[in-house]
């Protein structure tokens, strides 16, 4: 199941159970206003009807359901208004703005515990503590998840047992999150990204699996190497900082080293990177080149930075962060773009910057149209 599906289902469930935070309500209202929750609302509605009713009264059931879907949408919108204003009586301007504009991304993700329980993460301004198997996990008010093992008592539980239990954190489109892993390593997830790791690392090695784009600051442990596994490669480090861009829609995996040294295992080669270098992995070939550090980690510092990038690469980043689609009309331009823009920028301001730079772009609903 995709991270977006998990996140949207969790939002619908939270709304129906009245457990959403203020930020989650704003996100829910925005998604509802643009129809992205219709499928998940209908899915929930259908699941509450008995299967017997569907099989014995198939045609009449769906006639009634079609009418009920329209009525339910109206009731849901009214119910949302009541619920929302009860929770946030002073935020009418924020609600109106959220419902009618494309918003930049923010700190939100979904945590899946080893027992399958899923928890929505955000920076709602309130810290919360999550506990599983003697491990204290604090989700603070700044959009950061901190695993604290200082109170871990292994007298009645074995480390091997905990090492077999994994947590997964996924960000949807327009989401980002910061995590402090059980070993103290710091991790930042960009939009549409995922990381899986054990509650307690084994004594021999620390292994995490990732998708999307992730920045690592690895805590140094000489006798316990840190391994990062993504599709088509594995990275081995002791203590260092680096960025891995491994999105499935990018032409290659880009690994950029900031500090320390890493060893990268590809399909047909093993290479070592030094600070300032980056590796491009196409799946069949590994190439080392001088890296653009500022461009590689701009997303982590709250910026888009483009240094002679093509329009499709640029738009893939915009699409993930603003949760919009991109449509090309005419031949795709081969122009290259240079610039640095805050990721908190309103999308209309962003498009104005692109237009001033000579790009013919417009916003149609939640689709950016690029015309050449």
Position 3 scores a pLDDT of: 62
Question: Whole-angstrom Cα distance, residue 57 to residue 198?
Answer: 48
Position 199 scores a pLDDT of: 84
**Residue 367 vs residue 45, higher pLDDT:** 367
Position 118 scores a pLDDT of: 85
**Residue 240 vs residue 87, higher pLDDT:** 240
Average pLDDT of the chain, as a whole number:
81
For range 183-195, the mean pLDDT: 95
Residue whose tokens read 């899946």: 112
**Residue 147 vs residue 83, higher pLDDT:** 147
**Beta strands, E only, 32-165:** 106-112, 118-122, 128-132, 135-139, 144-148
Question: Whole-angstrom Cα distance, residue 261 to residue 241?
Answer: 9
For range 206-234, the mean pLDDT: 94
If you classify domain 204-285 with CATH, what class do you get?
Answer: mainly beta
For range 296-311, the mean pLDDT: 93
| Burial of residue 257, with CB atoms counted within 10 A of its CB: 0-12 exposed, 13-18 middle, 19 or more buried | buried
* Cross-strand bridge partners of residue 109: 121
Q: Which of 33-47, 111-125, 200-214 has the highest mean pLDDT?
A: 200-214
**Does the CA dihedral 366-361-254-177 come out positive or negative?**
negative
Phi, psi of 114 (to 5 degrees): -65, -25
For range 309-327, the mean pLDDT: 93
pTM: predicted TM-score of the whole model, two decimal places:
0.78
**Residue 28 vs residue 98, higher pLDDT:** 28
Position 114 scores a pLDDT of: 87
pLDDT over threshold 90, residue 71: no
Share of residues in the chain with pLDDT > 90 (%): 42
- The answer to whether the beta carbons of residues 363 and 100 sit under 8 Å apart is no
Model pLDDT for residues 248-275, shown as the tens digit of each residue:
999 999 999 999 999 999 878 899 999 9
- What token pair was written down for 279? 């590796």
- Domain segments of the chain as ranges: 3-100, 102-203, 204-285, 302-371
Question: Whole-angstrom Cα distance, residue 42 to residue 49?
Answer: 11
Q: What angle do CA 276, 277, 283 make, to 5 degrees?
A: 150
- What token pair was written down for 183? 């070993």
27 pLDDT tier (thresholds 50, 70, 90): confident
| Strand pairing class (336-342; 325-329) | unpaired
**Does the CA dihedral 229-230-234-237 come out positive or negative?**
negative
Model pLDDT for residues 89-122, shown as the tens digit of each residue:
444 444 444 444 688 888 889 999 888 888 888 7
By mean pLDDT, which of 25-39, 95-109, 192-206, 305-319 is the weakest?
A: 95-109
Residue 288 CA: distances (Å) to CA of 270, 275, 278, 284, 291? 11, 12, 6, 14, 9
**Residue 194 vs residue 138, higher pLDDT:** 194
* Fold adopted by 302-371: Phage tail protein beta-alpha-beta fold (3.55.50)
Number of other residues whose CB lies within 10 A of the CB of residue 182: 21
- The answer to whether the beta carbons of residues 363 and 354 sit under 8 Å apart is no
Model pLDDT for residues 120-161, shown as the tens digit of each residue:
887 665 667 776 766 778 887 677 888 877 766 666 666 666
Share of residues in the chain with pLDDT > 70 (%): 75
pLDDT over threshold 60, residue 178: yes
Position 104 scores a pLDDT of: 86
């Amino acid at each position: 199941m995709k991270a977006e599906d998990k996140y949207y289902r969790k939002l619908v469930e939270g709304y129906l159970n009245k457990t959403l935070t203020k930020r989650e309500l704003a996100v829910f209202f925005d998604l509802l206003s643009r129809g992205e929750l219709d499928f998940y609302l209908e899915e929930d509605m259908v699941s509450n009807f008995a299967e017997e009713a569907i099989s014995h009264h198939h045609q009449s059931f769906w006639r009634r359901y079609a009418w009920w879907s329209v009525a339910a949408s109206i009731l849901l919108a009214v119910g949302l208004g009541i619920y929302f204003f009860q929770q946030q009586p002073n935020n009418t301007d924020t609600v109106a703005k959220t419902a009618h504009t494309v918003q930049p991304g923010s700190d939100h993700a979904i945590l899946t515990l080893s027992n399958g329980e899923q928890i929505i993460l955000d920076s709602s301004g309130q810290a919360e503590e999550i506990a599983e198997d003697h491990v204290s996990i604090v989700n603070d008010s700044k959009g950061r998840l901190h695993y604290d093992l200082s109170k871990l008592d292994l007298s009645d539980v074995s480390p091997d047992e905990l090492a077999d239990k994994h947590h997964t954190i996924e960000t949807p489109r327009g989401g980002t999150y910061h995590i402090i892993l059980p070993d103290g390593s710091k991790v930042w997830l960009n939009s549409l990204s995922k990381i899986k790791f054990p509650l307690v690392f084994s004594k021999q090695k620390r292994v995490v699996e990732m998708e999307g784009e992730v920045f690592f600051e690895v805590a140094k442990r000489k006798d316990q190497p840190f391994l990062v596994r993504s599709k088509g490669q594995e990275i081995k480090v002791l203590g260092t900082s680096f960025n891995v861009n491994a999105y499935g829609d990018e032409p290659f995996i880009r690994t950029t080293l900031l500090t320390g040294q890493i060893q990268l295992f590809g399909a047909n080669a093993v290479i070592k990177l030094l600070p300032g270098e980056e590796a491009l992995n196409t799946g069949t070939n590994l190439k080392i080149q001088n890296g653009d550090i500022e461009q590689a980690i701009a997303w982590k510092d709250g910026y888009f930075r483009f240094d002679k990038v093509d329009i499709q690469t640029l738009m893939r980043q915009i699409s993930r962060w603003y949760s919009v689609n991109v449509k090309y009309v005419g031949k795709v331009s081969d122009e290259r773009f240079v610039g640095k823009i805050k990721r908190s920028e309103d999308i209309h301001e962003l498009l104005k910057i692109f237009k001033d730079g000579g790009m013919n772009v417009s916003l149609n609903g939640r689709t950016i149209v690029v015309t050449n």
